[in-house]
Amino acid sequence: MKTYKKKIRMVTFFFTMLILMESCVVYKDHSVTLKRASMSKNWVKIETKTSQIFKYEQVIFENEKYYGINIVKGEIVKTELIESKIASINLEERRKSKSLNTVIPVAVGAVVVGALLIGAASNTNWCCK
């Protein structure tokens, strides 16, 4: 029974890691302008001069003002961005984000499946006791 509980813990850990890794986003190191951020249509991380960090799905330019856009509970939320209060603007690096979201879960899955197969091979009746 103890080995069965260990197997269940490993499977639970695997799915937990899979969910956590799916939300991984990588941002570029160099800062860009609000104009460039609004043209990119990517996720944007903005750090203010007071060291607060805000993440927006995209930045738009509307009525001579820049807005950070997020969707909260199905509603579009616009936050006005004041350029004088912004220290840096970083764009999402899509290639790295997508590759990390693919490679890490596959690697974690391979390790867990390998561990389960090794455990099953060493104890052939582990599931049937």
pLDDT in tens, 39-59: 888 888 899 999 999 999 889
> To the nearest 10°, the Cα dihedral for 76, 80, 83, 85?
-110
The fraction of the chain above a pLDDT of 90, given in percent, is 20
Supply the mean pLDDT for the chain.
76
Tokens of 37: 């951020």
For residues 22-43, average pLDDT: 74
CATH fold for the domain made of 27-92:
SH3 type barrels. (2.30.30)
Per-residue pLDDT of 111-125, as tens digits, reads 767 766 666 666 655
SS3 69: strand
